[in-house]
Amino acid sequence: MASGFFAILDDVATLLDDVATMSKVATKKTAGILGDDLAVNAEKASGFVSKRELPVLWAITKGSLLNKLIILPVAFLLSAFAPWAVVLILVLGGLYLAYEGAEKVYEFFVPHGHAKAALEIKEYSKKEILEMEKKKIKSAILTDFILSVEIVIIALGTVLEEPLLTQILVVSFIALLATVGVYGLVALIVRMDEFGARLIALNGEDNTFSDKIGRFFVSALPWVIKALGVIGTLALLLVAGGIFAHNLSFLHNPFPWMPGLLYEFVLGLIVGLVVLLLVMIGKKLFLRN
């Protein structure tokens, strides 16, 4: 009996070791989406009254957890009964990522030229503020759902050849990381300015060390969000290119002299621009009719 018990412990240790190894691989594969998820949610969770930022973020976090509870069982059923569908969804997700990244690049180089609307100063009632919060929370949860599907499918794509239990543990870990890790960092980011303001008000003296640190945090917040947006865009194109290169044999790197990361970035950008062009043509044809 003792030998059987130790054999079970050995099997558990082997399983945990496999899960840890595959989790590292899956985390690397999903890092780009996690970065974009962080950038998007940091932007969506900012702009509220200071005392409402954390309650709003908590509401979005609960919605994100519910999204994972819906997506994970469906993903595992597909893995068990239709693994080919996982690859198909992975490639379709790659097209979406490439399109999203290319659209951001296009908007950077080709500004829309819309006239900036004059800021309207208006006093909102408590009911109106709560209604606006609800709309923004719903929008953030919908965006989280789309990104969560991509994260789960990409993570699942890295462990398709592994036993089902390993798949469940690895992908569930990544899904939990995508919620707890991302929204934990978002909470820290959106409270940077509040933390800075408290440092500035720490004492009555002017231009003290705490004042300088406080002003740094206050002024750094918009730059941090912008930087996350740029990093997220680059990561989107890299992840998309990696999906195409690793899952479509005819798109494997044909240039031995070109670094893999550079090839995947270029591939993601080219595919994204093609999809963006098709979408723009489709919109013009639709509006014409």
More confidently predicted of 65 and 155: 65
**Token pair listed for 136:** 């923004």
pLDDT for res 119: 40
**Token pair listed for 226:** 């912008």
Answer yes or no: is pLDDT of 53 > 80. no
Q: How far apart are CA 149 and CA 147, in angstroms?
A: 5
106-115, 118-127, 139-148 — which is least confidently predicted? 118-127
For the stretch 220-232, what's the b/e string if a residue is b when 16 or more beta carbons lie within 10 angstroms of its beta carbon? ebeeebeebbeeb
pLDDT for res 10: 46
Mean pLDDT confidence for 5-31: 53
| pTM (predicted TM-score) | 0.68
Max distance between CA atoms of the chain, in angstroms, equals: 78
Local confidence band at 275 (pLDDT 50, 70, 90 cut-offs) = very high
Boundaries of domain holding 220 = 2-288
pLDDT for res 74: 87
Answer yes or no: is pLDDT of 121 > 50. no
Q: What percent of the chain has pLDDT over 90?
A: 7
Q: How far apart are CA 255 and CA 266, in angstroms?
A: 12
Cα–Cα nearest to 125, from 133, 116, 113, 136 = 133
The vertex-104 CA angle with 187 and 224, nearest 5°, equals: 30
Output the average pLDDT for the chain. Answer: 76
Answer yes or no: is pLDDT of 140 > 90. no
Query: Dihedral angle at the C-alpha atoms of 184, 189, 191, 194, nearest 10 degrees?
Result: 160
Please give the tally of structural domains in the chain. Answer: 1
